[in-house]
Amino acid sequence: MAYLFTSESVSEGHPDKVADQISDALIDNFLAFDKDSKVACETLVTTGQVVLAGEVKSHTYLDVQKIARDTINKIGYTKGEYMFDGNSCGVLSAIHEQSDDINRGVDRASKEEQGAGDQGMMFGYATNETENFMPLALDLSHRILKELADLRRENEDITYLRPDSKSQVTIEYSDDNIPQRIDAIVVSTQHDDFGDDDTMLAKIRKDIVEILIPRVVTKLPEAIQKLFNDSIKYHINPTGKFVIGGPHGDTGLTGRKIIVDTYGGKGAHGGGAFSGKDPSKVDRSAAYATRHIAKNLVAAGVADEILVQVSYAIGVVEPMGIFIDTYGTCPFNMTDGEIAVKVSQIFDMRPFAIEDRLKLRAPIYSETAAYGHMGRVNEIVTKTFSQPMGETITLDVELFTWEKLDYVDKVKEVFGL
């Protein structure tokens, strides 16, 4: 019997994502001037106020208030009527030195013997139902909000948009787990107050269905375009009005959108957030490494769908173990346990090896903090950073290295494919 599956996304202007982006902007600035920085930074945003808290070990000094304000302005919170804007909000910093008790388990005389920055389990997932090996419902949810943000910044076809928004896509699957059609799309977008409630709602619904969705569809592969139909149930601003939003409408915290950040409810999640953490925290680095493994395995033909789990003990170099679940989609005679053994032979999962393989000690994290950490485009960009002492640095950095298919040939060789 056919079944429905749903995933959601939230925009860069969602309060929790504002917090994530500030935390990751701090990470990038610390790493730009001191690549060995150890940082765990949490952010809280609410009406007219930002609170920064966390632990840092670094040889650089930053103007954290300016970094927070610049991030908020870049997102689009630039007007006093939003009750939260980068130029006027208060910024309180309660960042302090990292605990020596934690650091002693991470730093070692030999970098190769670096211990894990925390205990826990991390998951990576990949499926061949999309070109970027991501679950389709989440991929579409992200695409809708990225296109909505583009429309907001263009300020031409739709002129009333504000930064905060959410999306949700429900897809009907067949018994053999093949997407059949899109059943429902939910879009809630913050907007200017430009008329009576009924007039605003009618205008917003028309623009979302007739402008936004067609722009999304035209950028999709033909096979995915065919899943869109005239029977889709649209729920546009279901409450009828969404003028009050952003941190004024709802307090935001770093790390509260971990399912949006990963696989939209597909696969599994170990519970650890990513944003605000330097790569010595395996919550982040090992989650990227397991995504890298899963994606290369699926691309190599080991299975149509794969979940990879790795686990660590704080201060211990080697992982506790690697687990593989192919959901019965492996096309050749090999158990998941046998696949896990071969995976451990191909991929070095020691914390330093992950950092080195994926080039994680670089300022690459601001781009991850909205629209998902997985399924993104691997590219090299140029970024410039400045600090209060007058030093400016420009770096070429490689984004989303964990999305590279650079181990496909090696996987095929080891598995005899």
CB 269 within 8 A of CB 120: no
Residues annotated as binding site for ATP?
14, 164-166, 241-242, 250, 256-257, 273, 277
Binding site for Mg(2+): what residues are annotated? 16
Q: Which of 122, 120, 131, 133 is nearest to 294 (CA)?
A: 133
Give the whole-angstrom CA distance, residue 70 versus residue 179: 41
CB neighbourhood size of 383 (10 A): 17
- Tokens 């977008």 found at: 189
Strands (DSSP E) found in 289-390:
305-312, 321-325, 379-386
Task: Tell me the binding residues for L-methionine.
Answer: 55, 98, 250, 281
Q: Which amino acid is at 81?
A: E
**Annotated binding-site ranges for K(+):** 42
Secondary structure (DSSP) of 336-362? HHHHHHHHHHH---SHHHHHHHTT-SS
Tell me phi and psi for residue 12, to 5 degrees.
-65, -20
- Contact criterion met (CB below 8 Å) for 108 and 114: yes
| Of residues 282, 329, 268, 275, the one with CA closest to residue 302 | 329
Annotated binding residues, written as ranges, equal 14, 16, 42, 55, 98, 164-166, 241-242, 250, 256-257, 273, 277, 281
Count CB neighbours of 206 within 10 A: 11
Strands in 38-46's sheet, in edge-to-edge order, are 90-97, 49-57, 38-46, 252-253
- Which residues sit opposite 189 in a β-bridge? 165
Contact 77, 13 (CB under 8 A): yes
Q: How far apart are CA 19 and CA 22, in angstroms?
A: 5
